[in-house]
Every structure is written in structure tokens, then in C-alpha cells.
Amino acid sequence: MSKKQSTKKTGVLSAALFKLTGPAATLKTDDKTKKLFYFEPKFDVEKAKQRAEKEALDILQTSPDKLKVSTPALKYEFYCMYNATMRLKYLRVKNEEISVNDQVVGVALGDSVFVPKKGTHGNSVFIDLIELNEVKRQDSLLLNGITGDPANNMEPLVKGPGKKPATPAWIAKATVVPGKLNSIEKVISVLTKAASSSLPKDAKRVVEHTIEFSQLDGFYVPFYYVNVSAGEAAKTLRINAVNGDVLLKV
């Protein structure tokens, strides 16, 4: 998650917040906005086969008498559109050199006493400051559930009309194409792992870490998978059953 990064001012702070010891905060995820949808096919198997035959002639550069086309199989490809905000508060230690004149033999800061040493510009005291840093990052993407890559070309379809709520019963019956991110749970898992593994190297203790989804929509889009061949040449076509686009199998 790295599209936008900013910091914001924090309100009243307590001394307890600056303790370097103690357990680090674990990542918390707010996915209450999660929604699942599906689209119904707009044409049947026979029309899908006719479309495959027409496209395969050009793709395989063959003639109708040499072309073989399998019966189209209806499958659902998963796509996920999300808008997420990651917030992180962490402590780090910064060593500061403060120059003092040669007559200074000690400096008190709170309950700590520092004795001057030779520094960059003469007599100096070296103090470890504990900083509380706060970072906010926002990310928004539409992902292809098969490859895990961005799928901006599908945005007009998933934002358009025709989608229906996908219930657990519907999902259990549907044939969903396997993939890296073919469920909302997999998308959340990848994003949380990325957030957990990208902590600043100089963080001494994490005091707050959250991911909040303002949008988390999953879409099951119907595709007809059709095997076409001519001699030794063979391909698997994916025919979008909503808009009719013909693509090769990823």
C-alpha cells in the first residue's frame, strides 16, 4: 500500500505512549464494508461457441474444416475493488548532538544527567530522543483474482449495472477460477502481510497499526472457457459472458 502518504497532527500525548518496552501493537483490520456481487451471463453456450469459432479462425490462422471447438464451460472469474487506509504509529530513537561551551560539565534533562564529550563542533552532550511517528497511507485498486495484477480494463463492467448480491450459497455452487486472489479473504491476507512486512527499519516499537477499508467489493464475472485447436496449434479462449469480449486464457 503506497499510493499516498501523509502525516497528521496528534492530540494530547501521555508519557506511557513513549515507552520502548512492552508488546508491540498487532495489525487490526476493519473490513465491515465487505460486499460480494455476481453477474449473470447475457448469452448462452451456443452463442459462446459461435463466437469462439469466429475468433479462433483468426487466432489460429486456419480454415473452418480444420478447426475444432470444445463445448464452452461457464466459469466465474473473481475481481476485487478496494479503497484502504493504513495508519501506523511507531517509536524510534534519534541520537541528538547538542553543542555546549567548554565551561559546561553536565546537563540535566528530567531525571537524566549527561556529561559533555568531544563532538563534531567541540564540547557536546549526546541525547537519545524518543520520537512518536504517525504515518497514513491510502491505496485504491481493482485486482484480477487470477493473476493478482491490476485490472483497470474491467472497471466499466464492475461499476456498471447488472450485478446482484452473491450469497454464500451462490458462491458454493459457482465454479470459480483458481487464482492468487480469487476471494476477498485472500486479498485481505495479502494486503495485511504487505503492511506488516513494510514497517520502518528504525521502528523500535509499534504502538498502533490499522487498515480500514472504505470500499471492499468482490465481483464474480462469468466467462465461457473454450478450447480451440487446428492441428498442433491449440488455445483456450475466455469469452466474457457479460460484454462479449474474447481473450486468451491467462
Q: According to the model, what pLDDT value does residue 38 have?
A: 98
Position 135 in a domain: yes
Position 5 in a domain: no
Domains identified in the chain, total number:
1
What pLDDT digit, counting tens, does each position of 79-138 carry? 999 999 999 999 999 999 999 999 999 999 888 899 999 988 889 999 999 999 999 999
Position 6 in a domain: no
Q: How buried is 190 (Cβ within 10 angstroms: 0-12 exposed, 13-18 middle, 19+ buried)?
A: middle
Q: Answer whether residue 246 shows pLDDT above 80.
A: yes
Percent of the chain scoring above 90 in pLDDT: 84
What pLDDT digit, counting tens, does each position of 118-135 carry? 988 889 999 999 999 999
Going by C-alpha positions, the residue among 222, 224, 226, 223 that lies closest to residue 56 is: 226
Q: How buried is 239 (Cβ within 10 angstroms: 0-12 exposed, 13-18 middle, 19+ buried)?
A: buried
Position 13 in a domain: no
What size, in residues, is the chain? 250
Position 4 in a domain: no
Position 2 in a domain: no
- Tell me the C-alpha distance between 223 and 201, whole Å: 44
What pLDDT digit, counting tens, does each position of 4-55 carry? 555 455 567 888 888 998 899 999 999 999 999 999 999 999 999 999 999 9
> Bridge-partner residues for 150, per DSSP?
143
What pLDDT digit, counting tens, does each position of 144-198 carry? 999 999 999 999 999 999 999 999 999 999 999 999 999 999 999 999 999 999 8
**β-strand 28-30 against 122-144: which pairing, if any?**
unpaired
Position 3 in a domain: no
Q: What is the mean pLDDT of the chain?
A: 92
Range of the domain at 156: 19-248
